[in-house]
Structure 1
Amino acid sequence: MMVIRPINRDDKQALLHLATKTGIGFTSLPNNEQRISDRIERMIATWEGSAPLHEQGYLFVLEDSVTKQVVGISGIEVAIGLTEAWYDFRVGTLVHASKELNVYTQMPTLFLSNDHTGNSELCTLFLDPDYRQGKNGHLLSKSRMLFMATFEDKFADKLIAEMRGVSDENGHSPFWESLGRHFFAIDFSEADYLTGIGQKAFIAELMPKHPFYVDFLTDEAKAVIAEVHENTLPARKILESEGMRYEGYIDIFDAGPTLEAYTKDLRIVRDHETRRVAVVDDAEEGVTPLLIGNQSYQHYRAIVANQPYTRDEILLTAEQADALNVTAGEVVRIAPLFAREKHHGLG
């Protein structure tokens, strides 16, 4: 059984192993032991209640309950940009008009922006390629939203998710080559690594503050604006199915889209329900794949299961109850795993 749980210090080597598989453009899980150790400590401090707001964040791992192997990771940052400026480009429009010349031109532009400062962020979603099957990706991504639904007061009203933009296996980013390289004079892979290990000051120091005209970029660069890396397309589709949308903001390095939504409008946050646990030896499979999570903050657990339920209770096997760290009579939160599912008032 695959189980979501909070990260702990013993997971460091598993994260370092996953970091070797992410590839260029995945900045939030750098292959850097000190950076990963520091982040784990920051997450633990958040769960223990000792982290200030600007340092608060959560990391969850996807673990095989039989082998105890960690095969995926996903995260939430509580409030971005409070100590280091959070940069992205806002895709806008400038109009050039002259009545005398009978000219009216709308020019797409890129404005350097800090508009998402203070928002919460879904981040660091990575699943081992060997486990990209079944419902593992959905569990890894959507369990964060069920956690937010359970502890809604700990997050901002608005939520974003930066999507990895287009680059090839050699670290070539068309957008970077057309724009970023002119100001930073380094390879995209190096800039990507520096941001991943927290050295972001150079962005503020070197990036000009004036708007750019999109038409001055190469055709190759223009074509990848707000497009995602091929490996990121499933993650984008999952988030969009839950109500997140591209609203005109892109990454300043690779032009990947930023998806956003009000936290309360996420399907899982809006439509989840609670049920009391009944532990049974066996039960017929239900018709709806469910995302099921306990209500323990520090010992959070979530699974996916096709379990039958009524308006009052849900039937769990002893193995499932153990995986969720719950006993008979306790309350769990449930939501259909997929937005199209509707059953017993859920969805």
Structure 2
Amino acid sequence: MSNFVDYVKIHCKSGHGGAGSTHLRREKYIPKGGPDGGDGGRGGHVIMKGNAHEWTLLPLRYTRHIKAERGQNGAKNQLTGAYGDDIYIEVPIGTIAKNEEGEVVGEIMEDGQEIILMEGGKGGKGNEHFKSSTNQTPRFAQPGMDGQEGYIVFELKILADVGLVGFPNAGKSTLLSSVSAAKPKIANYAFTTLTPNLGIVDYRNYKSFVMADIPGIIEGAAEGKGLGHRFLRHIERNSILLFLIPADSESHFQEFKILENELKEYNPELLDKDFIVSISKSDLLDDELRKEISKEFPENKKPLFFSGVTGEGLMELKDAIWKQLHG
């Protein structure tokens, strides 16, 4: 997943509208032909389009400028100029586009969905529109309107049923590789996972759900420390959250509260999501230690114990997740 790209900024420009024509009709047997200048064509739009076959914004990574075609000018015989070709920016489902002020201008929710990010300029009216009883042969027409121009920021937020939340080395990557075919890189250093990993988890009777391993959280992430907002953006799009506290943590409940507070600082609505608390690496614990850890947590937040290495407790964890998703 080293090629995962979730943030791209592109300078976009829609097409200018074509100018209207000022043509006056001149034919052999019609010495005083009137105005017959056609309208200019509309400039091309800049359009964002959903593509279910794209998983990252990588194809756009090295795109700095995108420019739609201008509309053609009007012509004689009331011929309207051709529209400029629209330009399409294909993005994965879950992509949000923002303008330079940070305002959301569109969000792709399904395959094939199209959102106009910048409209092409309107074509100018030809002189035939301006004919009147007092001006039989107007020698003017409208110029085409300018297109729009500016930077658009594309952000991809992972769409998953379950988002894993935990400090670095909490065992998220191990869990994901244990319950799905995903093969995240796993190593023993602070930010094991630098980019989100997705895995499809098989469940009973051929059912399945999608689990996302989000980059590890550190205290202060809500202020942008470490990977900060990059991973918090992804958590917003998960249906439920699975908190992972490693068995070898010094204070399991305190670690949970820190994680919970980081989410609250970033976006209080995240705490409205359903969540499950779990203790990873539980193969390190005996029954007595498990009881002690459970006592730290209030009744409505009792943790589930599992080991991604031995597989112990994984089915119970899947059952709990499924119940939360479909209960």
TM-score range, shorter chain: under 0.3
Task: Indicate the structure with greater helix content.
Answer: 1
| Higher RCO structure (Cα 8 Å, ≥6 apart) | 1
Structure with the greater alpha carbon radius of gyration: 2
* TM-score, structure 1 normalization: 0.25
